[in-house]
Structure 1
Amino acid sequence: MFSLLMNWMRDARILPQISATERQALEAGDVWIDGEFFGGNPDFDRMLKENYHRLPADEQAFLDGPVETLLKMVDTHALSRTRRLPQAAFDFMAENGFFGLQIPTEYGGRPMSTLGKSCVMAKITPHSGILSSLVVIPNSLGAAELLCEYGTPEQKQHYLPKLANGEYVPCFGLTEPTAGSDAASIKAEGIVFRDTDGDIKFRLNFRKRYITLAPVANLISLACRLHDPDNLLDKGEDVGITVLLIEKGTPGLHIGDHHEPIGDVFANGPIVGRDVVVPATDILGGLEYAGQGWKMLMESLAGGRMVSLPATALSTMQLATAAAGAYSMVRTQFGIPVGRMEGVESKIGHMAAMTYMFEGARIFGCSALDRGIQPPVASAIMKAYATETAREVGTHAMDVMAGAGVMQGPNNVIGRNYCSAPVAITVEGANIMTRTLMIFGQGATRCHPHAYQVVQAVENNDTGKFRKHLLGWIGQFLLGMLMTVLRGLTRGHFTVNMPTDVAPETRTYYRRLGWAASRFGLLTNLAMFLLGGKLKARGNLTGRYADAVAWQYLAFSALRRFEADGRLREDLPLLHYSCRYALARTQQAFEGIYENFGGPLGLLLRTFGRLGLGLNPLTRFPDDDATRAAAHTMQTWNDQYRRLCGDSYLPDDPQRGFGRLMQAFRLTSEAEPVRAKIRTAQRAGRLGRGAPETLAQQAQERLVITSAEAALLVAAQQACLAAIEVDVFTPEEFYGEQAPAGLTATGDGGLEKHADQPPLAATGS
C-alpha cells in the first residue's frame, strides 16, 4: 500500500519538486530553533539554552581601540566628496588586521568570532560606506573564507598572507545581467581545453556587474559554469558551477570601472572577461572542487545574510534611533521638546523597540554561527527583515529630524544612511525573493520534522523510510490540529509547554508564541498537503507564511536577549513593545493566509476561520502607553541610553555632527531637574509664566536655583540651538570650486567666517 501511495505522490507531483541546485541549497546548513516553529510545538527550555554570546575581552578592546582610531582618522564628508580612502587609513587597516578577521594567525590574520566580526562591521558601516565595504567584503564575501575552508595548502600559503596584509584586495564575481537573485542561472562560461604545452586550462568569457570592491580589487573569486567537451576533468561535459581565483592583469580581463551606488558611495563596478585563459590550478580548492561552486556560494551567501547585512541594518537602526531620540529632546516647538508630542513619541518608541529586538536577534544568530551552526532559514529572515526594518526606522528618523535630516553636509548624521537603505535590501537576493521564495520554501521542506525525509524517500524509492516519516507526519498533523483547537480555546493557558525559569512579566509572550506556533505548524502542513508543488507559484501566500515565522523568531530573540541581559527592568518597555508588535504582525500574517489560501478549505478559512481570528487574536498592536514608555528609553542621556547604543561610534567632537548633537543632548538632560525646579516655582506663584530658559536669571535671584544651575540651563540652551543648525555653503563651495571653509550663524543672522574652525565643518543657517 505504501509503495503504491509513494508512486502516486511522485507521479502526481504532490510534493514540491526539488532541482539539483535547490537540493544543494536545502542540504547546506543546519536546522536551528526555526525548526521548533515549523514543528508547531516549541520547546522553550531547549531554545533558551541556545548560546547568546558576549564579546571576549580582546575583541572588545579591538572595538574600543583600533576601530575607534580608524573612525576618527576618516572625515566622512571629505570622503563623500573625494570617494578615495586616504592611504594612511588603508595602511592603518592593514597594519591592525582589519582585512584578516577570519584568517588564521599562522597566515598573518587576526581571527575574531563571528559576533566580533559582526560588531566591527556594525560600528564601521554607519560612519562610511567606503570603509564598510573594505571590511565587509574581505571578511565575509571575499576569497579568504572559502580559501580557509576549501583552499589547497599552496593556495592558502600564497593568498592568505597577502589578503591579511591588504596586498590583495578581493571581490566576489557572481551577479550578472541575467543572474541576480537566481544565482544558479549564471551564464559566465569556462571551456576546458588542453593547451599546446599539455596543461589543462580554461577559456573564460563573462560579464559581471554590481560587484562590490571590483574597481579597487586585484583578486577575483569568479563564479562560472564549466563545460568540458572532451571530458578532460573526468566529470562529464557539464562540470557545473565552479569558483576560480583570477588576479588583476590577466590578459582579457577588464576591471576598474565604476557603478555609482545610491546613497553613501562605495567601490562597486562591473568585471568583463573576453577569452581569459587561466590554468586549472586556479580552481579554488583544486581540481577536486570543479563543479562544487554552488555549495561554496550557498555557504558564503548564508554568512552574509546572518553576519554582514544584519550588522549593517542594525548599526543604521542604532544610529537613527540614537540620533532621533536625542534630537527630539534638543529641538523644541510650541514651548516643549518635540519628543514629548505623541506623534513623535510613536516614531521613537517604535524605533527603540525594533532596535532592541533586532540587536537581540543579531547577537543570537551570530552566537549560533560561533557554535558551528549554519541556519539558512534564520539567516534569510535576518537579511530580509532586518534590512526592511532598518529602512522603516530610517524613515521614522527622517520624519523626526525633518530639516536636520534632509539638508546634507557634515552635520547631517542620518542622511547618508537613509539614502543607502536600498543597497542592503537589494544585495544577496532581493528581499522580495527572500521573503516569497526562500524563507518558507526552504523552511517548510527542511525545517519540518518529516517533510524532507518523505521527499527523499519518494525520490529514492525507499518504502521503509517513506512509511516511517509519512506516518510520523500524519501523527504530527493530527496532534497539531488538536493542539491548535485547544490552545485557541484556552488562549494557550495550560496547553503550551511553558519554560521553567523566565521573568514573570514575560511569561505571557511564551504562552502566545506557543499558541501561534501550533497554528503555524498546522497551516504549514495544510499548505504542503493541499498545495504541494504549487507553492512556488504562490509567492504572496508564501510571503505571508514567511512573515508569520519571521516575527515569531524575532519575538523569541527579544525574549532571549532579555534573559541574557539579566532581566533588566528598565528594558521591559522595549521588550513589551517588541513582543506585542511581533505577535501582532504574526496575527496579521495569519489573517492574510486565511483570506488567500484558496480552494474549498480557503472558503472555510475566509469565513469561519477569519471570524475566529478576529474574535480571538494573539494580541493587539502596542497602545499609546506602551509606545510612550518605549520612547522614553531613548530620550534621556543616561546609562541605559548609552548601553542601548551598544558599540555604536558616538564621536566626541562637541562642535560638529553627532558629537555636537550628543553634547546638546547630554546638557539638556542634565538641565531637566533645573527646569523642574523652575516649573514647581511657577506653579507656586514664585515665578511668572514663560519657558524655564528665559527665567534662569530671575530664578537664581529668587533662590529657586543656584548660580551653577542657572549656568547649566543657559549652556544647555546654547548647545541645543547650535545642534539644530544645518550646513550652509557659499556658491563656490556648493559648486565645488573650493573646499567648504566653515560657516556659522552670527547673533544678528549674518554669516561670519571662522578661521579657527576645521575644514569641512560648515555650519549655520
Structure 2
Amino acid sequence: MSLFIVLLALLTAWVLAFVGVPLLVWTLGAAALTVALWLAGAMSLTAFAIAAVLIAGVGLLLNVLPLRRAVLTRFAFAVFKKVLPEMSSTEREVLESGDVWWEAEMFRGRPDWEKLLSFKYTKLTKEEQSFLDNECEALCKLCDDWKIEYEDKDLPKAAWDYIREKKFFSMLIKKEYGGLGFSANAQSAVVTKLATKSITLAVTVMVPNSLGPGELLMHYGTDEQKKKWLPGLVDGSEIPCFGLTGPEVGSDATAMPDVGYVCHGEVDGKPTLGLKLTFSKRYITLAPVATVVGLAFKLRDPDGLLGDRNKVDYGITCALVPAAHPGVHIGRRHYPGAAFMNGTIVGRDVFVPIDAIIGGPAMAGKGWRMLSECLSSGRGISLPALSTAAGQLGYRMTGVYARFRRQFKVSVGKFEGVQEATGRIAGHAYTLEALRVLTASAVDHCAPSVTTAIAKYHMTELMRKIITDGMDVLGGKGIQQGPRNFMATGYKATPVAITVEGANILTRNLMIYGQGAIRCHKYVFPEMEAARENDLVKFDKLVIGHVGFAINRAVRSFTLAISGSMLARSPVDGELAPYFRKLERMSSALAFTSDLTMGAVGGKLKFMERLSARLGDVLSQLYIASAVLKFYLEGSKSDAERAHARWALDTCLYEIGHAFDGFIRNFPVAWGRVLLRLVIMPLGNSFHPVSDRRNARVADLLLEHSDVRERLSWLIFKNGGEHDPIGRMEKAWKIGLKTEAAYVKYYKLANHGEISGDTVAERLDDAVRRNLLTRDEAEQARAYDDARYDVILTDDFSKEYLAGDFAAEAAAAIEASGELSRVA
C-alpha cells in the first residue's frame, strides 16, 4: 500500500509539473502525501510530526511573501545583480525597440495555436489590388532589365517620371499627408512584383518606403517637419536617402565617427542655434540622385546649449539635411552588382539649424532607438519581398526550362539529380511566400523586431539557395547574360540583400537569439528590469514564477520526447496534426534549453556566438514552420499544396534537430551536455532530411500546371510580351500546354526511327506523308519545337556592342542572331 501511494505520488507530481500548477498546489500536495502515508501506516507518528513541521516550515517560507523575500529572494536578488551582464544604453535601446509577437509563443514552450490560426492576413484593399494590376504593370512595361543593367546603368527617364507621378515613393506615407497609405502587405506585394521585372526598379522604389526620411518623419517628425518635407516626398520632387553606414562603420552603428556639435551659427544671415556636422557615408542607396539626406551621427553638446549642462554626449541622433546644403558633397556612384543608384555622401563642418533633428531637440540622442524600430519594419517588408520575387521567378521559370529542355531524350526536370535542385526550389519558394505574407501582415499589426530579423536572415538565405539551384539547372542559359536571361541579375545582386540592413552573419549570430532570448522569454527581461529598478517585490514574484516555468518546460520536454510528441496538442486533425505536436515539443525544448544555458553559462553566452546562433536557428525554424502551417491552412489544401507544405515542414524539423544536436555537442559544460541530451533527445534525433520520394513529388509539380504554381507565382510580371525574358517563357508554356501531346507523339516516332529526315521540319513532313501524324498534329509539334528552341536560346553580341558601342547593334539584331544557330 505504501509503495502504491509513493508511486501514485510520483506520478501525480510528474503530472503537476507537466501541467504547471502554482506553488500553493505543490505545498498542499506534499501535505496530502504526508497524511496519506501516515494513515496507510507507512509513517510513524514521530516521523509524521517531523515531516509535518518540515512541510509547514518550507511551505511558510515559500508561500508567505514577506518571509520568502527576507530569507530567500533577497540573497538571489543580490547574486542576480552581480552576474547580470553589463548592458550599454545602445543595447538597451535595441532590446526595448519593437514588439514581440508569435515568436514569443514559440520561444516559451507552450504555443497558443489558436492565436496563430485566428490571426488574419492583411487583405489587399481594392485600391491596393488595382495599383498592383495597373500602375505596377505599367511601370514594369517601361523597363527593360538588360538595358537598365548593361547599357544605361539606370532606369529610363519615363520610369523615373512615372514613379513620381503615381506616388511609388510614398506608399507608406499616410493619406492625410497625400501619400498612398498602403499596408505593409501591399508594399511587400508591390516590391515583389517590381523585382520580378527589375531589381534596380524594386530597390529604387523600396528604399524611400523603408528606412529613410519618410518613415522617420511619419513616426517621429514634428508637425513643422511633416509639413515641410512630406509634400515633396509624396509628389517625388524630393528624393530621399539615409546615411548610416560609412568607411568605419558597418553593422556596428555605435562605432560611427560622424559627429555633430551643438553650437551657434548663422542661417540666411541670422544667428541660429544649430549643429556643426562632419560625416562620411558610403553604400547609400539613392544618394547620387537624392535631394534630402537623412543622417545618423553622434551628437555632442559641450556647452550645454540644449539645457542640460551635465550632459555632453547624447548618442546617436538623426537629422534631415538638404542634399544641396552648403558643405554637403554627394560623391560618385558605387556599383553593387545592380544598377540602382548607390553612392557616397561627405560633409565637413556643415552647419544646420537645431530643428533639423528629426523630431526636434527633444529627440536628441534617441536616433538609435528610432533606427532600430524602423529597421525592424524594413526587414519585414523590403528584403523579404526581394527574396520572394526570386522564389517566385525560380519556381515558375525554372519549371518552364526544366520541362522544355531535353537531354538524352528526356526533359531535364525528370532526372533525379536535377530534381534534387528543383525540389529545393519548389519547397523554398513555398516557404518564402508563406513567410512573406505572415511577416508583412504582422508588421501591419505591430513592430515585431525579432520576427523581422528572422525573416530578413532566412528569406535572403533561401533566395541565395534558390538562385544557386536555379543557375545549376539552367546551366549555360543562366550564365550567358543578355536580354533573354531572367536569372543573372538576381545572381549578381544577391549579396546586396545578404549584406544590407544588418549583415546576415550579424543577424544570425547576435540578433535573433540575443534579442529573442531576452525579449521573448516570459521572465528574463522583466527580471532584468526589476534588477535595474532595484525592485525586490517585483523580482520575487518573477523569480518564483521563473523556477516553476523552468521545471515545467523540462518535464514537458522530456515527456513529449519519450511519447513521440503524442501528448502535445494540435489544433487540427489529419496529416498536419503531427507537425503541430512536434513543433510544440521542440518549442518546450527551446524554452528548457534557454533556461539551462542562461543558468549554466550566464553572461558569457553573449560572446558564444556559435552557440546562441544555433538556438536562434531553432527559434527561426519554429517561426518558419508556423508560417508554413498557417499558409497551408489558408490555401486550397489540395494534394499539391500539401506536398509543398510537408516538404517545407520536414525541412524545418530537420534544421531544428540539426541545430539542437550541434548545440548539445558543443555545450561548454559537461553535465549540461548530458542533461540536455537526456531531456531533449532521450531517444536520439528523429528528424531527417526530406525523403527522396517527397522531394521528387514537388519537383514533378514544378513542371506541371497546378493551383500551387499559380499561388507561388501570382506576383510575377508576366505581360512584358514575347521579347521580354519572362514573357517569352510564358508564351512557350502556354504553347506547350496545348501542343506537347502532339510533340511527344512525333518525338517517339523520331526516336524509334519510324520517320526520316535531318531536321524537325523534314521529319514532320515525312510523318504526315506516312499518315503517322495528321497535318494538325504536325503543326502543333512544329509550334512546340519552335517554342522549345526559343526557351533554350541564349544571346550573343558583336565585339563593338560589348565594347560599349550600344548603337552598333539593335535589340532586334541581337534577338535574331540566335535563330542563325539553329540547324536541327
Give the shorter-chain TM-score range: over 0.9
Q: Which residue of 1 aligns with 2:395?
A: 321
Deviation at 1:609, TM superposition (A): 7.2
Give the secondary structure class of the aligned counterpart of 1:242: strand
Match of 1:343 among 408, 413, 417: 417
Cα distance between partner residues in 1 of 2:610 and 2:672: 15
Alignment counterpart, residue 670 of structure 1, candidates 709, 718, 738: 738
SS in 1 for 2:702: coil
Q: Tell me the distance in 1 between the aligned counterparts of 2:146 and 2:448.
A: 38
Whether 1:505 aligns to 2:563 is no
Candidates 277, 281, 287, aligned match of 2:361: 287
**1:247: which partner in 2?**
322
Which residue does the alignment assign to 1:732? 800
Q: 1:486 aligns with which of 555, 559, 566?
A: 559
Q: Which residue of 2 aligns with 1:330?
A: 404
* Matched AA of 1:289: M
Residue 553 of structure 1 deviates from its aligned partner by 0.9
Matched, 1:53 2:126: no
Aligned position for 1:746? none
Match of 2:729 among 645, 661, 679: 661
Equivalent positions of 1:340-379 (< 5 A) are 340-371=414-445, 373-379=446-452
Greater shift in the superposed pair: 55-64 or 601-610: 601-610
Distance, in Å, in 2 between the alignment partners of 1:742 and 1:721 is 22
Q: For residues 536 and 780 of structure 2, what CA distance do their matches in structure 1 show?
A: 81
Among 50, 71, 77, the residue aligned to 2:146: 77
Q: Which secondary structure state, in structure 2, belongs to the residue aligned with residue 172 of structure 1?
A: strand
CA contact (8 A) 2:640 2:706 kept: no
Tell me which of 71, 80, 93 is aligned to 1:9: 80
Alignment of 1:710-749 (within 5 A): 710-739=778-807, 741=809
Farther-moved stretch of structure 1 (411-420 vs 635-644):
635-644
Structure 2 CA distance, aligned partners of 1:629 and 1:152? 56
* Secondary structure of the structure 1 residue equivalent to 2:538: helix
Task: From the superposition, tell whether residues 566 and 656 of structure 1 become closer, same or farther in structure 2 (CA, over 3 Å).
Answer: closer
On the 8 A contact 1:128/1:264 being kept in 2, the answer is: no
- Code of the residue aligned with 1:25 in structure 2: it is V
Task: Flag the structure with higher helix content.
Answer: 2
The corresponding residue for 1:412 is: 485
1:468 aligns with 2:541: yes
The CA deviation at 1:417 is 0.4
Match of 2:333, SS state, is coil
Cα distance in 2 for partners of 1:27, 1:362 equals 24
Of residues 218, 222, 227 in structure 2, which corresponds to 1:148?
Answer: 218
The alpha-carbon deviation at position 656 of structure 1 amounts to 4.4
Equivalent-residue separation in structure 2 for 1:718 and 1:294 (angstroms): 58
- In the alignment, is residue 432 of structure 1 matched against residue 479 of structure 2? no
Matched AA of 1:271: I
Deviation for aligned residue 1:691:
13
**Count of residues in Structure 1 that have an aligned counterpart in Structure 2:** 742
The answer to whether 1:206 aligns with 2:299 is no
What is the match of residue 749 of structure 1? Answer: none
Taking a change above 3 Å as real, the CA distance of residues 660 and 162 of structure 1, as seen in their structure-2 partners, is same
Residue identity matched to 2:733:
F
Change in 2 beyond 3 A, CA 1:689/1:21: farther
C-alpha distance in 2 between matches for 1:729 and 1:28: 52
Q: What TM-score do you get using the length of structure 2 for normalisation?
A: 0.86
**Could you say which residue in structure 1 is the equivalent of 2:32?**
none
Spell out the pairing of 1:2-401 with structure 2 (5 A cutoff): 2-11=73-82, 13=83, 15-80=84-149, 81-195=151-265, 197-235=270-308, 236-261=311-336, 263-371=337-445, 373-401=446-474
The answer to whether the 8 Å contact 1:204/1:276 transfers is yes
Structure 1 contact 78–760 (Cα < 8 Å) conserved: no
Q: Which moved further from structure 2: 532-541 or 187-196?
A: 187-196
Question: Quick check: which has more Rg, 1 or 2?
Answer: 2
The answer to whether the 8 Å contact 1:742/1:761 transfers is: no
Which of 591, 614, 624 matches 1:521? 591
Query: Could you report, residue by residue, the CA deviation over 1:533-582 in whole angstroms, capped at 9, with x for unpaired residues?
Result: 11111011111111111111111101100111242332111111000011
CA contact (8 A) 1:6 1:463 kept: yes
Distance 2:677 2:588 in 1: 20
Distance 1:349 1:740 in 2: 43
Which of 591, 599, 604 pairs up with 1:534?
Answer: 604
Q: Secondary structure at the match of 1:141?
A: coil
Is this contact kept in 2: 1:665–1:720, CA < 8 A? no
Change (3 A) 1:688 1:763: closer
Partner amino acid for 2:376?
A: A
- Distance in 1 (CA, whole Å) between partners of 2:573 and 2:254 is 46
Structure 1 gaps of 5+ residues are: 744-756
Distance 1:488 1:29 in 2: 34
% identity of equivalent residues: 36
Alpha-carbon separation, structure 1, partners of 2:593 and 2:760: 60
Residue identity matched to 1:110: L
Q: AA paired with 1:518?
A: S
Instruction: Look up the SS of the partner of 1:276 in the other structure.
Output: strand
Amino acid across the alignment from 1:264? A
- Structure 1 residue 503 displacement after superposition: 5.7
CA distance in 1, matches of 2:739, 2:534: 76
Query: Who is 1:754 aligned against?
Result: none
Helix, strand or coil: the match of 1:650?
coil
User: TM-score, with normalisation over the residues of structure 1?
Assistant: 0.92
Which piece of structure 1 moves more, 270-279 or 99-108? 99-108
